[in-house]
Structure 1
Amino acid sequence: MTHPATAVGPTVRQRWRTGRWVLLALLVVAVIATVGTYLTAPKPGTPMDPQSTSPDGTRALVTLLRDGGVEVIEAGSVADVERAAREDTLIVFAETGLLTDEDRLRRLAELPGDRLLVEPVSRAREALAPELRADGVSSFTVEPDCDLPAAERAGDADLGLTESYRATSEEVRLTRCYDGALVRYTDAGRTITVVGGSSFMTNGALLERGNAALAMNLAGAAPRVIWFVPQQREGDTGDASLADLIPDQVGWIVLQLALAVVLLAIWQGRRLGPLVAESLPVVIRASETVEGRGRLYRSRRARDRAADALRTGTLGRLLPRLGLAATAPTHTVTQAVATRTGAEPTAVADLLYGPAPATDADLVTLARQLDDIERQVAHS
């Protein structure tokens, strides 16, 4: 008896011959995709790391410098910098917050060659650029506004929120660019350049405005560059206080935020909004309102307020009849009323501008006299 399996066998083998090429093609695609992803993925690292391809790294700038013929030596410790330092070398100092030991900073300050300090903390700036002092925060300055060739050739640059600097004395010939965010001076035969921000040199911002040109002009000022980014904290951290490790511009930022909050509170606190007219729930006759106010004055013995209200009402009706303005002087009103009524000016002045009544009876008498004088003016 013949089994159907003999007929099925060739069909399965044929399918395998066809399918294995599909599987092999899928495997090759997967391998290529994996390798491509690995090669193109950002290489992590610390900020300003010359090997990092992340947005805050500087792999792109270092590659451009090397392509331009600049010898870039990567240093991760003070010892590496000391071994490579020479007279014809520019030392780029980045991430100086990791330099906390005074002895190491002193050793770096004694090395030959020019210096480029990128966003230095106060401790490093005082050791490596002692002729400078902080001068507040300079935010988003774009025009160089100076005669420094490196900045003039770069033109507008987006430096972001940076520290600005000034000289400690007038004897220092300091060149200030970008509103003080970039400064340069000469000391002991070496050129010292300090820039208050580092973002324009990173991979993420290098293509904005003239950032690439400015970064290359500053870092490529010498044929040989030591790119110093400490890989770990240098020295004993016991001598470093929290204030030393905080960038100088943080205090200004906090102060500006506090001022903004205070101004916002004042602005919002004074916004009472427009007046809204609301209809009364009931209609009250004018006589009832007058009687109610009179009872209120009487209960509080406010004869002075009641007299002022009576005199103000009388003057408000008399002045138009006399052809006088509301700002007319007292003696002018008194003389005009006396002329129209034939009364003595002294009596008229006492009636219209005199002291408050001492008793309720005097208040009633005042009301009657004001009514009489108003009637006389009206019929004169």
Structure 2
Amino acid sequence: MTALDGTTTSRSGAGTPAPHSGSAEQQDSGTPAAAPTPRRRRVAAWIVIGIALLVVGGIGGAISAANQWAARDALDPASAGPQGTRALAEVLRSHGVDVEVTRNRADALAALDGSAATLVLPDAPALSDDAVSQLADAADDVVLIQPRSRTLDLLLPGSAAAGFAAGDAVAPACESAEADRAGAVAPGALYTPGSATAACYPVEEGFGLLVHDTGDRRVWAVDGSVLFTNEHLAADGNAALAANLMGRHPLVVWYVPSAGDTDLSDTDPSLGELTPPWASPVIVLLLVAGVAAAIWRGRRFGPLVAERLPVTVRASETTEGRARLYARARDPLHAADRLRIGALRRLSALLGLGAHAEAGEVADAAAGRTGWDRATVRGILLDDIPRSDADLVALSTRLRDLEEAVHTAVRPERSTR
């Protein structure tokens, strides 16, 4: 049977569409189409997931290695990379200052013992507060080139971090001779001074340089990762500021911290030490709230609606419901196909053609039995296409008339009663 969209659907004698499986060649040969089994699909999915995890892990490992390498070279006087400080060490040596690079605390203490020296101290998270204080006390001057809140609180009491500068060069605006000789610089991190600490290079509410001067000893705090590295040393007065801060004594002891150089007995803090004190009560509160919400909104035990089974639904209800769906969809051809399928099934039974008769055979048999024009009968059962609801109603009437004519021709005695 030919539908509106031009596709051909084959009907059996009862008018039902025949199922299709595979291509015509596969139907002729009787070989079913090869399709991937669910097991193969699952295996392929897991293989893809494994490959994706390996790729992501490789990328993450490369990024981690690059970060570790960058961290290893940062502020290292032996590194010629952008984040290293070899250029500053050479500048100091050219001014007659001996620069001794130490990579463990014992060597740094030994180098500071017995001579006037300046300690250059980056951030050393592997050292305890006592170890940092011991290093600072052994030096005549201390230059903190990567100050954190802990070292600021230890060596510059009352001082704290205060954000970052915008990147523009600013004048010293202080009474420090070392800063005045250096001139303007573009500080990175900013700090707020304590009560006994002087400050230079003001930017809004922070300062780019702090100094605690007790007369014979000075402790400086400056962001060396922005001012003193190889890529930034030649900018503004950065080199002059570094030489002025670190060149007051003939020896500079540059301590390069590492994870292996530690005096901490337990370097792996527990989860409780890493979390703030309010985290545990909040977690407990969230768990209690989750349980309460589950009890409040969860499904109750037992049937939601009590009803007696089985439920009887009248056939007219389903018929009317399907008719409403067809009417709402505004698809008269679909509705006409359903009417024709029912008519073909009944006509096939009346004409004794059997369940496997094709629709064309039923139409020809009906035309021969009733004497109607063959083209007219085929138009009613197969070819006529309803365009509107009125056409559908007219087709329904013609189908009923055809069935009555076939019934009269096949069983005239019953029709006369």
Length-normalised TM-score, structure 2: 0.43
Task: Give 1 or 2 for the bigger CA radius of gyration.
Answer: 2
